[in-house]
Amino acid sequence: MALSDDEIERYARHIVLADVGGPGQNKLKASKVLVIGAGGLGAPVLQYLAAAGVGTIGIVDDDVVSLSNLQRQTIHSTDFIGKPKVDSAAHFIAALNPHVKVEKHQTRITPDNAMALVSAYDVVADASDNFATRFLVSDACYFAGKPVVSAAVGQFDGQISTFKPYLKDESGTPFPTYRCFMGDLPPPGLFPACEVEGILGALPGILGAMQAMEAIKEVLQIGTSLAGRILLYDALSARFLETTLEWNPDNPLTGRNATIHGIRPENYSPSSA
């Protein structure tokens, strides 16, 4: 897949990188990345994946742009208030990089469509804002054998990790799942949404840009993956903390006595916890 003259100039700073070069840029051009959510986290993910030249970007979001989104969801604009976020995001990407194909999925990801959605892409970036979706996306990516870069943010802090539980580490132990990290699906209201507690607008920009970076690393197969690690960020103290995340042999998805053998709706409701 040859790069055009325009693409060679556009991606010149990538092409001179020893770990990327022309072959790596062609990998990005041939890749397909699915982004779940076009909100605070999804906005910078989409922006940097498109700028990097990811050939096909899928966007899953059923929401419309509201005025209160614009404090942090920087790919949307005042002109798109009331319009679907997938349309606003596609418009932004087209203006930024016309070489990127956008596949719009104006829907929520559900147990009925999750496997079809994630199976069609090489890498998934989970930029959703609720636990049920994060559990669902992680489980679906496990069954589909796809890496998922997952991030979450609070008022002034955030976290990011990559989940590849279909693979094993050097010792032969499975990499952890999202369920190894979170355990059971928490009950509604335990972690209030940002419209209740608030969020500093620049914070999801930081974590979302990191998600894009980790997704690009997965496409290029360079650097050290965040699989088996979780990175925590405290914005107020400007500190990062990295901790190891280990496989839980009792988790219901990949544990020794697994009870989840497919995507079923009852596994993503708090009553199942």
Mean pLDDT calculated for residue range 4-27: 97
pLDDT of residue 273: 29
Task: Give the pTM.
Answer: 0.95
Where exactly are the structural domains of the chain? 31-272
CATH superfamily of 31-272: NAD(P)-binding Rossmann-like Domain (3.40.50.720)
Name residues whose C-beta falls within 8 Å of residue 181's C-beta, 6 or more positions apart in sequence. Answer: 161, 230, 245
The CA-to-CA distance between both ends of the chain, in Å, stands at: 47
- Segments in 221-260 forming alpha helices (H): none
Q: Give the pair of three-digit tokens for residue 181.
A: 């990290």
DSSP string, 62-108: --BB-GGGGGT-TT--GGGBTSBHHHHHHHHHHHH-TT-EEEEE-S-
- The residue written with tokens 């989970």 in the block is 126
pLDDT of residue 3: 94
Q: Count of alpha carbons within 13 Å of 144, Cβ hemisphere only?
A: 23
Q: What pLDDT, in 10s, does the model give residues 68-124?
A: 999 999 999 999 999 999 999 999 999 999 999 999 999 999 999 999 999 999 999
Instruction: For strands 32-36 and 56-60, give the pairing.
Output: parallel
For residue range 18-57, what is the model confidence (pLDDT) as tens digits? Answer: 999 999 999 999 999 999 999 999 999 999 999 999 999 9
267 band by pLDDT with thresholds 50, 70 and 90: confident
For the chain, how long is the longest CA-to-CA vector?
A: 56
CB-facing half-sphere around the CA of 236: CA atoms within 13 A: 6
CB 210, CB 160: distance < 8 Å: yes
Place of tokens 């693409």: 7
Quote the Cα angle for 101-122-113, to 5°: 85
pLDDT of residue 268: 84
Radius of gyration of the chain (CA): 18
Query: Does the pLDDT value for residue 269 go beyond 80?
Result: no
Percent of the chain with pLDDT over 90: 90
Predicted pLDDT of residue 272 = 35
Report the mean per-residue pLDDT for the chain. 94
Report CA 1 to chain centroid distance, whole Å.
26
Helix axes 21-30, 202-220, angle to 10 degrees: 110
Confidence of residue 266 (pLDDT cuts 50, 70, 90): confident
Q: What is the pLDDT of residue 184?
A: 82
Q: How far is it, in rounded angstroms, from Cα 85 to Cα 83?
A: 6
pLDDT value for 188: 66
pLDDT of residue 271: 38
What's residue 194's pLDDT? 63
- Give the Cα separation of 241 and 256 in Å (integer): 30
Question: Could you report the per-residue pLDDT of 185-201, keeping only the tens digit for each?
Answer: 876 665 566 666 889 99
What pLDDT score does 225 carry?
97
- What the block records as the tokens of 60 is 């899953």
Quick check: 49 and 99 in contact, CB under 8 A? no
Phi and psi angles of residue 137, each rounded to the nearest 5 degrees, phi first: -65, -45
pLDDT value of residue 197: 81
Name the percent of the chain lying above pLDDT 70: 95
